[in-house]
Amino acid sequence: MPRESDHTVPNSAAPETESAETTPESASKPLLAVDTLDVHYGKIHAVRGVSFAVASGEIVSIVGANGAGKSTIMWALTGVVRSSGGRVLWDGEPLPKSPHEVVRKGLALVPERRRLFAPLTVRENLVMGAYLRKDKNVDKDYERIFTLFPVLRQRLGQLAGTLSGGEQQMLAISRALLSAPRMLLFDEPSLGLAPRIVEQLMETIVELRKSGITVLMVEQNAVQALEISDRAHVLEAGALVKGGTGRELLDDPAVRCAYLGEIAQDATA
């Protein structure tokens, strides 16, 4: 599936930085609050003063083009890269900076391109997901996963690298679920999947939210993500430039032009 959008971002005026007023949940205590986050890779300023919040039970998306900084935000949240400024609060407390502490706190990443252990079996990949668990509910969570994705039970002995793209995404989600998260972070979950499989995936994300899991998703192919999102933000060159409900962004001509594959005239009509 081609990833690159050839459309240029239509707003030639300086991007309006999102203000605090655009986050209606900021009045109540959010589960995740990101405040003026900065990340540098040497001289590259990849994430620029990004602020947003996710309330418990929400699905929030960040949409942006190649290189906008989507994965970097996810890596900064999960302790994979160090931020150079700003702070992240989790349930009102500073989020730890080491990846395993972040997982212990209940934040689990479903990474871009799944990042499965390809030469290991499905069973072994799942065991990796539960490696920090000390509680006795792991067996229940395996049952929950096999109810959600029955095909994985049949594939337990199969090497992860030989699964179909859709099955690999199911395994990546299951591995994250086995850490018993309160919030799942999805980095481009639709990448490389057929539209029908993406639709099923989005239905699964909605199901997960119904089961009490909060969702933060970054996506380049934005239509399906926006359709299921309570709120969403647009990320351009490391900065959030626009925010609204998923529906508002879906209906925004500039967003449609830049991220939903529509031609430029539609944006100015």
Ligand X SMILES: Nc1ncnc2c1ncn2[C@@H]1O[C@H](COP(=O)(O)OP(=O)(O)OP(=O)(O)O)[C@@H](O)[C@H]1O
Enumerate binding residues for ligand X (CB under 6 A). Answer: 41, 44, 46, 64, 66-72, 112, 220
Q: Among residues 70 and 242, whose Cβ is nearest to Mg ion?
A: 70
Distance CA 38, CA 23 (A): 19
The enclosing H or E element of 89 equals strand 85-90
Q: Among residues 71 and 224, whose Cβ is nearest to ligand X?
A: 71
Residues 111-140, mask of contacts with Mg ion (x by CB under 5 A): -x----------------------------
Q: Among residues 55 and 235, whose Cβ is nearest to Mg ion?
A: 235
224 contact partners, CB below 8 Å, separation of at least 6: 190, 198, 199, 202
Name beta bridge partners: 44.
Answer: 41
Q: Name the one residue in this structure whose structure tokens are 């967003």.
A: 255
Q: Among residues 168 and 220, whose Cβ is nearest to ligand X?
A: 220
Q: How many CA atoms lie within 13 A of 250 on its CB side?
A: 14
Contact region for Mg ion (CB under 5 A) — 77-85, 107-115, 151-159, 247-255? 107-115
Burial of 256 by CB count in 10 Å (0-12 exposed, 13-18 middle, 19+ buried)? Answer: buried
136 contact partners, CB below 8 Å, separation of at least 6: none
Q: Which does 161 bind (CB under 5 to 8 A by kind): Mg ion, ligand X, none?
A: none
Lateral strand order in the sheet of 214-219: 107-110, 183-187, 214-219, 59-64, 231-236, 239-245
Q: Among residues 73 and 255, whose Cβ is nearest to Mg ion?
A: 73
Q: Among residues 46 and 217, whose Cβ is nearest to ligand X?
A: 46
Q: Among residues 25 and 112, whose Cβ is nearest to Mg ion?
A: 112
| Candidate list 23, 71, 78, 125; residue touching Mg ion; CB under 5 A | 71
- As a whole number of Å, the end-to-end CA separation of the chain is 29
- Taken in order 256, 228, 191, 216, the sign of the CA dihedral is positive
- Residue closest to 79 by CA, chosen among 47, 58, 108: 108
